Amino acid sequence: MTDGPDADVPLPEDVDAVRTALVEWYEDDHRAYRWRETTDPYQILVSEVMSQQTQLDRVVEPWEAFLDEWPTVESLAAADRADVVGFWTDHSLGYNNRAKYLHEAARQVVQEFDSAFPETPTGLQELMGVGPYTANAVASFAFDNGDAVVDTNVKRVLYRAFAEIHDTDNPQYEEVANALMPDGQSRVWNNAVMELGGVACQKTPRCDEESCPWREGGHAYQTGDFTAPDVPTQPEFEGSRRQFRGRVIG
């Protein structure tokens, strides 16, 4: 590890190599979701609100149906709120307040911003129901203008690979994530690190199966200890190099 912007922030020795490995891994092969193929902030905001505490595969059909019904921010702003909430309920998308906030955010964009979304995380947080995480996601994926996006999956990745930060709420997660992210590349970087947490560094890791680009230098892979802030006990896995490695080291 080397010192980052703060002496207490642990970073890999060769940050550029770490960045390149992750971006190349992501660009070589990743899950294809239509919201990853657009820079439309409205479509991206809808996907982000729908995917809160929901697996991405379950969002595909509702997201497409929602945009068929309300294809633009103007059409959503003009919709009856009861219809939006009804759609949310019919598609089992979780708390109805999310639908209400999304509808109100659309109205704000139309009425207060002349139908043009704010392009910064700070500006996006002026919209109803948009917190720091969602604001960074929309700013990154729509405008390539966000900070590092840090959720539970990203914390797990950083903990296992580099940081070993034990407090889930420790601000070092954000510091490490932002120090790792290449300048001006928040779109590809945030997509890549979130993909890593979603397919390779799940609670039960799939390092070899998904060719994790950080496995050889990662603390967890080297030691066989795959606990994390959201994985307090060692996950079980069979038939991989990880299991053998962990037994040898142990």
Residues designated catalytic: 48
Pick from 76, 73, 75: nearest CA to 84: 76
Q: How far apart are CA 140 and CA 34, in angstroms?
A: 16
CB 13 within 8 A of CB 1: yes
Spatial separation of the C-alpha atoms in residues 159 and 168, rounded to whole Å: 10
Angle in degrees, CA 42, 46, 52, rounded to 5: 145
Report the DSSP beta bridge partners of residue 231: 228
- Give SS3 for 231: strand
Q: Which two tokens stand for residue 119?
A: 């392009």
**E strand segments, 67-207:** none
